[in-house]
């Protein structure tokens, strides 16, 4: 379970998040939408403990990750996978080494099993056979999928997806959306999906939150959001000024 209590964060004196409250139950899937630059990626970083909040608490499995020791924080992070908006692949390593990285560094897994696991995750994101490639030689969408495979390689209990389907064609997009849903159905993976893509919002989330003026609005459901008269409807239909 993830809980944010009255979380605020500013950069250089400019408030980005203001008094954000959010509770996510185990296995739940939520989507976060909002205008570019409103603080969605910042929210994911706070949950990962990569930024410290100026005020408030971030509870992951009941622990306030900004109060625990650094060593403990590193341990907690192992249960969370994050797909960065930019994919953030290590360009000093090939694709297979990227996907294997969390396994090799964090878990004592024999080499043969690491190879199996890497192949399995690459297949999941439809990138089999790309293990020997350098990240620099991949397209944006391919990098994204490798980033996803890497985030999933440690079998996390929580997944944070920052724009998982941006840059993918409609078919791949659908497959990744299915993957997100499947992970949560089969493995109870809790997921937070930040996205601008309407199909992804509708197909992956049980609840949709909109970030507006630094806070999260009351959530909408995918069934009603398209016809909602609230700010959600306006945003989704492109009418928000």
Partner 1 sequence: MFQYLGKRIGTFLTQLGQITLLAGHACRHIVLRPHVGQVFEQMYRLGVKSLPITTVTALFIGLAFALQVVQEFLKFGAGKMIGGIVALALWRELGPLLTAVVVAGRVGAAIAAELGTMKVTEQVEALEAMGQDPVRYLVAPRLAASTLMMPLLVGWADVVGFFGGFIIAIGSGRVNPYMYFESAQAMLHVKDIMGGLVKGVFFGFFIALISAYMGLSAKSGAKGVGEVTTRAVVVSLIVIFVLNYFLSTALFT
Ligand X SMILES: Nc1ncnc2c1ncn2[C@@H]1O[C@H](COP(=O)(O)OP(=O)(O)OP(=O)(O)O)[C@@H](O)[C@H]1O
Asked if residue 50 binds partner 1 (CB under 8 A), the reply is yes
Residue from 52, 55, 74, 111 touching partner 1 (CB under 8 A): that is 74
Nearer to partner 1, 105 or 223 (CB): 105
Cβ burial 171-200 (10 Å sphere, 16+ → b, else e): ebbebbbebbbebbeeeebbbbbbbebeeb
Q: Rounded distance, CA 220 to CA 185, Å?
A: 21
CA distance 192 to 204: 9
Residues that bind ligand X (CB under 6 A): 11, 16, 34, 36-42, 85
Minimum CB–partner distance for residue 58 and ligand X (Å): 15
Shortest reach from residue 50's CB to ligand X, in Å = 9
Least gap, CB of 85 to partner 1 (angstroms): 8
The interface with Mg ion within residues 40-59 (CB under 5 A) comprises 41
Least CB distance to ligand X at residue 235 (A): 13
Asked if 102 interacts with partner 1 (CB under 8 A), we say yes
> Is residue 72 involved in binding partner 1 (CB under 8 A)?
no
Told to check if 139 binds partner 1 by CB under 8 A, we report no
Query: Between 163 and 177, whose beta carbon lies closer to Mg ion?
Result: 163
Q: Which does 91 bind (CB under 5 to 8 A by kind): Mg ion, partner 1, ligand X, none?
A: partner 1
Minimal distance, residue 43 CB to Mg ion, in Å: 9
Stretch that binds partner 1, among 24-32, 67-75, 196-204, 215-223 (CB under 8 A): 67-75
Residues contacting residue 83 through CB under 8 Å, at least 6 positions apart:
144, 147, 148, 151, 159, 160, 161, 162, 164
Q: Which is nearer to ligand X, 40 or 121 (CB)?
A: 40
Distance of alpha carbon 49 from alpha carbon 77, whole angstroms: 8
Q: Does residue 91 belong to the site contacting partner 1 (CB under 8 A)?
A: yes
| Closest distance to partner 1 from the beta carbon of 74 (Å) | 5
By the criterion CB under 8 A, which residues form the site for partner 1?
45, 48, 50, 70, 74-75, 77-78, 80, 82, 84-86, 88-92, 101-102, 105-106, 154
By the criterion CB under 5 A, which residues form the site for Mg ion?
41, 85
């Amino acid at each position: 379970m993830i809980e944010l209590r009255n979380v605020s964060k500013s950069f250089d004196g400019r408030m980005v998040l203001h008094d954000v409250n959010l509770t996510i139950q185990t296995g739940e899937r939520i989507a976060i939408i909002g205008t570019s630059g409103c603080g969605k990626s910042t929210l994911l970083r706070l949950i990962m403990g990569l930024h410290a909040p100026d005020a408030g608490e971030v509870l992951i499995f009941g622990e306030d990750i900004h109060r625990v020791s650094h060593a403990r924080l590193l341990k907690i992070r192992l249960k969370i996978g994050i797909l960065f908006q930019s994919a953030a692949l290590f360009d000093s390593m090939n694709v297979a080494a990227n996907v294997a990285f969390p396994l090799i560094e964090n878990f004592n897994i024999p080499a043969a099993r690491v190879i199996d696991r890497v192949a399995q995750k690459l297949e999941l994101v439809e990138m089999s056979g790309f293990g020997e490639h350098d990240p620099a030689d991949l397209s944006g969408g391919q990098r994204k999928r490798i980033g996803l495979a890497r985030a999933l390689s440690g079998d996390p209990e929580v997944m944070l997806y920052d724009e998982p389907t941006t840059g993918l064609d409609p078919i791949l997009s659908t497959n990744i959306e299915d993957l997100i849903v499947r992970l949560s159905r089969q493995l109870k993976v809790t997921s937070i999906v930040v996205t601008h893509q309407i199909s992804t919002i509708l197909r992956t989330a049980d609840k949709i939150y909109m970030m507006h003026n630094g806070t999260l609005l009351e959530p909408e459901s995918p069934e009603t959001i398209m016809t909602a008269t609230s700010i959600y409807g306006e945003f989704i239909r492109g009418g928000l000024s």
